[in-house]
Amino acid sequence: MSWVANVMVSVHPDDRPNVAALSEWLRTEAPLRGDPPRQGCGFLREATGQNTAWGGGKYPECDVWAGALNHADLNAVLDHIAQMPWRCPNALQFFVMDQEDWFFRVWMLRDGELRQYAPVKPDEDDLDFYAN
């Protein structure tokens, strides 16, 4: 059985090497949730390169990387991101939609601290997509 967290990382172009390093850490060293202790939960792939197709007919003017992480210890991932040497920390946005969530949570670095911005605590009971 898998436990998937969909993630996206948006950064300033100067931090592309940091995202590549984060992706490699996720692939080889990131701890997984549960027993027994294992490492490696997936990786990130650039979603905004020249060969990507977004709607609108123009190339995106942002740097976004995305991945589907399996069994990731998300607290460890967030701690690792917070400790990385980002060149433009205020441009970093980390979006996480964990298994069985219907929305992304947004994390940003402010004053040297990784903080969750939106949604902090959504009302899960209001997310009944199958009612109609």
Strands (E), the chain: 4-11, 45-46, 63-70, 93-97, 105-110, 113-118
As given in the structure block, the two tokens for residue 28 are 């080889």
Q: What is the pLDDT of residues 37-73, one digit of tens each?
A: 778 999 999 999 777 778 887 778 889 999 999 999 9
Confidence check: pLDDT of 132 > 50: no
Residue 75 identity: N
What is the Cα 22 distance to its own chain's centre? 10
Local structure of residue 131 (DSSP, 8 states): -
> Which one has a higher pLDDT value, 28 or 130?
28
What are the residue ranges spanned by the domains of the chain?
Answer: 4-123
pLDDT at 131: 47
**pTM for this predicted structure:** 0.86
Distance CA(92)–CA(108), nearest Å, equals 6
